[in-house]
Structure 1
């Protein structure tokens, strides 16, 4: 699938998540800002900024917030719009989340895992006791970052006995999107386990005709996505105004 088609599908997803019928991406240097209090681009009452390709879509919880954002951020590039320090220098902000990088994978774009790295990959149902134990051991921050508690697909795992060392699945999002969720136990990171389970989850999503999406902040997560063939096509930033 050409990159421009991936961008088109990704933009369609985020327009729907904006929860505003008129929502659309702007043009380079001119982000589109909409009042959308029910937007999923950011936590409730926050401003959400999503850039895909060379254009951005911004949602704000109120008309006043939208006016402030529109005036302050007009003329910025997509990189500037999703840079916390740049945005904080132009808006009165109380907090920010991100930026997170958005990666997408086209059919036929999944790269194989090296045979030398391969471990047996099995699957568990979401909510399995072994997965709950893994999330508890990982801690609230890592578990929340992974999103693994929200998956709706089978969860693909590498295990040591009954202990789950790495797990990956996806949450079904609108527009036939599979939002990937991956977690490796802290003590076994750096051994290629995330790549193995994420490969299985991505393959499952592609077989189901879905668009795999990988949202990552940590550099290590981004490296895993790129190794599997994901193309970084966008960025997301959430802003809480003062």
Structure 2
């Protein structure tokens, strides 16, 4: 299954306006800044950190003056890879910690989870139990930011709930009271069995029920996470690259 790159035409235009609003507020822009046909928006910041957002055909470069100036000489537009940001940084690259994520958004309730009557826990202890079974790298990617809403943890049904194994979990945090930034983690011994799709669907539906637009961030090289998002109905419409100055 191939993941469409920046499949903007399939995403609802009204919801795209709301996503743009959320990013304007996150980046400290005027609420209407991304309501534009311009290819590019520059935003001067007072820190050394840099954000390059490519969303629905518009690139935002937020950074110090030297970064804005440097970016004007970088050809093309930033895709999912970090090469565009690396070119902007030039010989300053070693001074920064670089991160890249694709951005996909969901808008419709899904009804198929391919599991009859799954055993679901909303207790955070089951999510913590799962994290203890996973690598530090997987936990950091899935839960680098705190989950502020309810957990959906799929439990094995071969034991009572209080001793059942946690198979997969999902949750989300609210951003700007607009987006639901999704988190999904699966037990490494129980992957490729559809468990992540079950909890991902439940958490996505919960976010939509609460009036939020679900946001799915994945490392560009994490094709498994990106394919899972596509199966859940998320549409990839952009990418965000960050360069955080090392202490």
What TM-score does the superposition give when structure 1 sets the normalisation length?
Answer: 0.81
Query: Which of 127, 151, 157 in structure 1 is aligned with 2:153?
Result: 157
State the match for 1:56 in structure 2: 59
State the match for 1:193 in structure 2: 195
Contact 2:11 2:235 (C-alpha < 8 Å) held by counterparts: no
Distance change (3 Å), C-alpha of 1:55 and 1:31? same
Q: Deviations over 1:165-196 (max 9, x none)?
A: 10001111114211111000111111111111
State the match for 1:223 in structure 2: 227
Distance change (3 Å), C-alpha of 1:55 and 1:20? closer
Deviation for aligned residue 1:147: 1.8
Contact 2:52 2:85 (C-alpha < 8 Å) held by counterparts: no
RCO comparison, higher one (Cα < 8 Å, 6+): 2
State the match for 1:63 in structure 2: none
Distance change (3 Å), C-alpha of 1:87 and 1:164? same
Matched residues in 1 for 2:109 and 2:31: separation?
Answer: 34
Structure 2: stretches of 5+ with no match in the other structure: 1-9
Structure 2 residue matching 1:150: 3-state secondary structure: coil
Aligned pairs, number: 224
Matched residues in 2 for 1:114 and 1:129: separation?
Answer: 24
Deviation for aligned residue 1:49: 1.3
Matched residues in 1 for 2:61 and 2:98: separation?
Answer: 14
Contact 2:207 2:213 (C-alpha < 8 Å) held by counterparts: yes
Structure 1: stretches of 5+ with no match in the other structure: 38-44, 61-65
Distance change (3 Å), C-alpha of 1:110 and 1:176? same
Matched residues in 1 for 2:205 and 2:239: separation?
Answer: 24
Structure 2 residue matching 1:138: 3-state secondary structure: coil
Deviation for aligned residue 1:77: 3.8
Distance change (3 Å), C-alpha of 1:135 and 1:114? closer
Matched residues in 2 for 1:28 and 1:48: separation?
Answer: 18
State the match for 2:42 in structure 1: 32
